[in-house]
Amino acid sequence: MALEKDVDCPACGETHSFYRTAATTLHLGEKTKWRCPECGFGYIEINGISTLSA
């Protein structure tokens, strides 16, 4: 898994390289936490499903 990925940050309004801050395996799949280095906004993905608003 990558340690960073480009995401449109809803808090900054710009695209930034979010950094993976944590990852663990659950019964639902892999849970990964991502954080924006500019503003600190974070979101979670579980098995590829994101909590990031569209």
Instruction: Give the tens place of pLDDT for each residue, 3-44.
Output: 999 999 999 999 999 999 999 999 989 999 999 999 999 999
Burial class (CB in 10 A: 0-12, 13-18, 19+), 49: exposed
For residues 26 and 46, the answer to whether their CB atoms sit within 8 Å is yes
- Tokens at 26, concatenated: 């659950």
Per-residue tokens: 29: 């799949």
Distance CA 51, CA 13 (A): 17
Domains of the chain: 4-50 (2.20.25)
Q: Is 25 exposed, middle or buried (0-12, 13-18, 19+ CB in 10 A)?
A: exposed
- In this model, does residue 48 exceed pLDDT 90? no
Instruction: Quote the pTM value.
Output: 0.86
